[in-house]
């Protein structure tokens, strides 16, 4: 990733890294996120929406890559092979500086935890709503093109449907529960990316935190929405079931996992550290 500063700070890149051979403290990582979080809350709705739409489209390549490698692998290795390439869409989204709703369960939440006022909460809800709408529309567009046009050869559709079915079945409560862990991992990824500028390190971090989502069938609301919408578009599941029994619980679970298990816990350790250092 280019180290040049841009008009809009990248929420995943620290403003100033540690000296060689050192690691950033939790307080330093928090401070690296706070500035971009403030900027995120002030971004125009149009900029948020188009970035989110792009992310919803691009994240679909995780699904497509999984279907491709699954079509080449023996039956007992298909799930593992698909999980290994699942990070592709996340790599493309994050390195392009597009935005997913799930990443923003951390970055713009940090300013709210610091201020705890109504206006910041209102700004956060605006950001979340805009990103979620854009992400889901992008996911819908990608899934419709994949399902209803000759985007890929016909022999890819059976493994794609197999992946989509496994990723979206289970019902409301199972999906919501497993989505908590996906939200936890994605928000943790945002926290970790704020500690390094190195592109190689960022790529490794993206792979380490997103491959387990597919491997353990945790539920990511946006990547999973591509799979859910594809399943509905090919007639393998009702649209209402995919929205009510996958997308909705996945969004709720991701938000809980990101906000409670990363944003709130990591902020709490930073607040405790600063309270300890504060003069009496």
Q: What are the pLDDT digits (tens) for 217-245?
A: 999 999 999 999 999 999 999 999 999 99
Nearest 5°: CA angle at 33, between 31 and 35?
Answer: 80
Q: Enumerate the domain spans of the chain.
A: 33-275
Q: Looking at residue 275, what is its pLDDT?
A: 80
Please tell me the distance from the alpha carbon of residue 51 to that of residue 94, in angstroms, as a whole number.
11
Q: Sorting pLDDT into bands at 50, 70 and 90, what band is 23? A: confident
202, 94 in Cβ contact below 8 A?
yes
The mean predicted confidence, pLDDT, of the chain is: 93
For the whole model, what pTM was predicted?
0.90
Share of the chain above pLDDT 70, in %: 91
Q: Is the pLDDT of residue 71 over 70?
A: yes
Give me the half-sphere count of Cα atoms (radius 13 Å) on the Cβ side of residue 260. 10
Average pLDDT over residues 19-44: 88
240: its two tokens: 């209402």
pLDDT tops 80 at residue 21: no
pLDDT band at 103 (very low <50, low <70, confident <90, very high): very high
**CATH top-level class for 33-275?**
mainly alpha
Residue 16, pLDDT above cutoff 80:
no
Residue 254, both tokens: 């991701």
- Give the Cα separation of 219 and 138 in Å (integer): 18
> Does residue 24 sit in helix, strand or coil?
coil
Strand stretches in the chain, DSSP E? none
pLDDT tens for 135-187 read 999 999 999 999 999 999 999 999 999 999 999 999 999 999 999 999 999 99
Backbone angles phi, psi at 40, to 5 degrees: -60, -40
SS (H, E, C) 135-163: HHHHHHHHHHHHHHCCCCCHHHHHHHHHH
What whole-number distance in Å separates Cα of residue 31 and Cα of residue 73? Answer: 45
Residue 266 is predicted with a pLDDT of 93
**pLDDT score, position 2:** 42
Q: How far apart are CA 227 and CA 217, in angstroms?
A: 13
């Amino acid at each position: 990733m280019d180290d040049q500063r841009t008009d809009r700070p990248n929420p995943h890149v620290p403003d100033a890294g540690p000296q060689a051979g050192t690691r950033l403290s939790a307080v330093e990582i928090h401070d690296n996120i706070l500035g971009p979080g403030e900027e995120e809350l002030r971004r125009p709705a149009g900029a948020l929406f188009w970035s989110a739409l792009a992310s919803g489209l691009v994240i679909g390549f995780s699904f497509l890559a999984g279907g491709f490698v699954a079509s080449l692998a023996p039956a007992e290795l298909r799930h593992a092979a698909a999980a290994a390439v699942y990070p592709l869409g996340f790599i493309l989204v994050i390195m392009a500086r597009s935005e997913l709703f799930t990443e923003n369960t951390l970055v713009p939440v940090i300013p709210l935890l610091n201020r705890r006022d109504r206006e910041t909460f209102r700004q956060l809800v605006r950001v979340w709503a805009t990103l979620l709408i854009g992400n889901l529309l992008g996911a819908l567009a990608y899934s419709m093109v994949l399902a209803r046009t000759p985007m890929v050869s016909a022999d890819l559709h059976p493994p794609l449907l197999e992946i989509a079915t496994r990723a979206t079945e289970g019902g409301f409560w199972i999906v919501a529960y497993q989505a908590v862990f996906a939200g936890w991992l994605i928000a943790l990824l945002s926290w970790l990316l704020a500690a390094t500028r190195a592109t190689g390190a960022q790529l490794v971090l993206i792979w380490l935190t997103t491959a387990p989502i597919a491997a353990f069938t945790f539920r990511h609301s946006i990547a999973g929405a591509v799979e859910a919408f594809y399943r509905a578009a090919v007639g393998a599941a009702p649209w209402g079931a995919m929205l009510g029994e996958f997308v909705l619980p996945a969004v709720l679970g991701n938000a809980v996992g990101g906000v409670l298990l990363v944003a709130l816990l990591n902020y709490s350790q930073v607040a405790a550290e600063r309270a300890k250092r504060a003069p009496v």
